Amino acid sequence: LFFRVHRESDLFFLDLQTLRSGDEGWLVLDVTAASDRWLLNRSKDLGLRLYVETDDGRSVDPGLAGLLGRQAPRSKQPFVVTFFRASPGPVRAPRAVRPLRRRPPKRSNELPPPNKLPGIFGEPGARGWGDWHPPGSGWGSGGQ
């Protein structure tokens, strides 16, 4: 799809779609660059021009390729849908990202408080052990 500014030599490439035989449906083409120029030149009909080519570069009539135009039933005629801002409102600048606070690295020989250690340290009643009794002598607790 090309967009004509003033003369044939002023064509701007807009979009490209590759279709295979048997493809059906609407073609959705990005004409943003053309609509930007239309806004600048509202008094002129700058138009769009559609070219159809084969894989080997031969030009084909769009009607012979199966593209429908003004001769098609009204429900299948091409149309353009575009969205414009009502007014160029204020644009918010992106906020700066705060740097992460760095925690001081832990020393490898530093142990957490006993109630934070995994395992059997801490209050036995808090672990649901109920009637907990310390091991007797000779059980490797150092109390031999």
- Grouping H, G, I as helix, E, B as strand and the rest as coil, residue 58 is coil
With a cut of 80, say whether residue 89 has pLDDT above it. no
Averaged pLDDT of the chain: 70
> CA Rg, the chain, in Å?
37
Residues 6+ apart with CB under 8 A from 125: 132
Statement: the pTM of the whole predicted model exceeds 0.95: no
pLDDT, one tens digit per residue, over 93-122 is 667 677 777 777 766 676 666 666 555 555
Question: What tokens appear for 124 in the block?
Answer: 């036995």
Domain ranges of the chain: 2-76
